[in-house]
Chains A and B, each alone.
Chain A
């Protein structure tokens, strides 16, 4: 951490700040410039007292952290990419893993139909929401446990592992009985109790970035899960809120190479939510793979015009199959497999 002192501070002021730094368990290193004095505080910061408190001192102009605040998620701790294994499917390895399925589980026949179709097209994991965090309280809220049962049935028939969202700490155990990957949705990215709870479970977690979550905040949320003892975290970029309204969200693909540089966790991209429009899903899925994503999560519905949620961004099974066909050569061109 670098502590910048105000112009015109006295020698006694500098000493007072240095004393405080020493008391907090760090070593001060003073650099006197022509106009300003800055103090470097040396020592492990994570898990130690937060030096930003020094901004409360009148003589301190600013405290600037130089180290990333996350640890277990960082490349410093683990320089090689981590792989998350789910029933034989490896996320974070050479293979680009496609997760697909409806936004909401609506009925058993719907799930069976979609699961068969996405499997035939090459999807490796089945998605489907049983507990739905809907913006409007009047919108379809999901089939809950009944939906989990339909997901389990679709898994039994197709062999595809299942990813589904868990909304609250009390339902974590129940959802984990049925799901192979627990999804933490964008709205829960800073529900810290829920993060700790899924951290204790040990099941792989698909952590979606919130619509206004910075990448540092996103990685700190991952850190909650890792710190609770669960190393199986998959990050998911799904679009952020910006001024642009011609798409539902702005898919921040910059996040993919940035996350790959900062951390060792697998990164997948959700072009369905990231655009909100089915006709933009295919180009953005290709773009995601081109910039280094380890996988995709895509909404597919047998009849999007009748879907109980997210119909406008859902692909028909035939469009999804076409996407997979177009994706394969792109995957190979960037040196991956599918």
Chain B
């Protein structure tokens, strides 16, 4: 960290700040400029958050971070890409992973039909929500435990591993009995007790970026899971809130190469939520891969016009199969496989 002193600070002011820094257990390195003095702070990084308190000292103009605040999630700490497998499906390697399925699990017949179709088209992991965080309390809230059982059954029947959302710490064990990957949804990105709980659980975690989460905050949320003992974190960009209303969210694909540079974790893109319109999903899925994503997660429904949630952004199985056909040659020229 660097502490910038106000212009015209006296020698006494500077000594006073250095004394406080030393008291906190760090070493100081002074550099006096023509107009300003800056104090470099040397010592263990993770304890440095407390230095921000010095911003309240009258002679201090600012406290500036030099290193990223996350550690275990950073590429500095772990230069090689994180790779792991979920029931034989490799994540974070050369192979692009495609997760697909309905927004909500609605019935056995719906889930079975969608699962078979997405599997036939080449999806490797089945998605489907049993616990649904809906904006309106009057909207369909999910089939809950019954939905989880349907996911388990369908997973057994098709061989596709399952990713599904968990919303509360006391449901983690229940969801983990049925799911192969636990999804933390955008709205829970800073639900820290939930993050700690899924860390203890040990199952791979798909961590969606919140709609107003900065990349740094997102990686700090990942740090909660990793520092809790669970290294198998998959990040997912799913669109942020901006002034633009032509799309449901603004898919921030800049985040893909940015996160790839900062972190070793696999990154996926969700073009369904990121656009909110099925017509834009294929274009943005391709863009996601081209930007360097390790996979995509796509909403597919056998009858989008009857879906209990997210119908407008869901692809029909035929269209999903066509998208897969378009993604394959693209993955290949990007040096990936699908």
User: Which of A172-180, A272-280, A302-310 is the interface stretch?
Assistant: A272-280
Q: Which residues of A contact B157 (CB under 8 A)?
A: none
Q: Is there an interface contact between B242 and A242, defined as CB atoms closer than 8 Å?
A: yes
Once A333-B330, A333-B332 are accepted as A-B contacts, the answer to whether A280 and B274 lie under 8 Å apart by CB is no
How many chain A residues sit at the interface, stated as a range, is 35 or more
Q: Which residues of B contact A257 (CB under 8 A)?
A: 275, 279-280, 283-284
Q: Is there an interface contact between B290 and A254, defined as CB atoms closer than 8 Å?
A: no
Q: Measured between alpha carbons, how far is A291 from B290 in the docked complex, in Å?
A: 9
Shortest beta-carbon distance, A115 to chain B, in Å? 28
Once A254-B284, A257-B283 are accepted as A-B contacts, the answer to whether A242 and B258 lie under 8 Å apart by CB is no
Q: Measured between alpha carbons, how far is A333 from B274 in the docked complex, in Å?
A: 23
Q: Is there an interface contact between B291 and A283, defined as CB atoms closer than 8 Å?
A: yes
Shortest beta-carbon distance, B212 to chain A, in Å? 6
* Interface residue? A289 (CB, 8 A): yes
* Interface residue? B301 (CB, 8 A): no
* Interface residue? A151 (CB, 8 A): no
* Interface residue? B245 (CB, 8 A): yes
* Interface residue? B100 (CB, 8 A): no
* Interface residue? A330 (CB, 8 A): yes
User: Which of B127-135, B249-257, B309-317 is the interface stretch?
Assistant: B249-257
Q: How many A-B residue pairs have CB under 8 A?
A: 122
User: Which of A49-57, A133-141, A210-218 is the interface stretch?
Assistant: A210-218
* Interface residue? B289 (CB, 8 A): yes
Q: Is there an interface contact between B240 and A280, defined as CB atoms closer than 8 Å?
A: no
Among candidates A244, A275, A290, residue contacting B287 with C-beta atoms closer than 8 Å = A290
Shortest beta-carbon distance, B269 to chain A, in Å? 10
* Interface residue? A77 (CB, 8 A): no
* Interface residue? B202 (CB, 8 A): no
Among candidates A243, A246, A252, residue contacting B244 with C-beta atoms closer than 8 Å = A252
User: What is the total number of residues of chain B having a CB less than 8 Å from a CB of chain A?
Assistant: 40
Once A253-B287, A254-B275 are accepted as A-B contacts, the answer to whether A244 and B252 lie under 8 Å apart by CB is yes
Shortest beta-carbon distance, B255 to chain A, in Å? 8
* Interface residue? B191 (CB, 8 A): no
* Interface residue? A287 (CB, 8 A): yes
Q: Which residues of A contact B287 (CB under 8 A)?
A: 253, 256, 287-288, 290-291
Q: Is there an interface contact between B291 and A250, defined as CB atoms closer than 8 Å?
A: no
Q: Is there an interface contact between B251 and A254, defined as CB atoms closer than 8 Å?
A: yes
Q: Which residues of A contact B326 (CB under 8 A)?
A: 334
Nearest 8 CB-CB pairings of A with B: A290-B290, A329-B333, A291-B287, A287-B291, A286-B290, A290-B286, A257-B283, A287-B287
Additional A-B contacts beyond A253-B284, A283-B257, A291-B284 (20; CB < 8 A): A214-B243, A215-B244, A215-B246, A240-B243, A240-B250, A244-B252, A250-B252, A250-B254, A253-B253, A254-B246, A254-B274, A254-B280, A257-B283, A279-B257, A279-B261, A283-B292, A289-B290, A330-B330, A330-B334, A333-B329
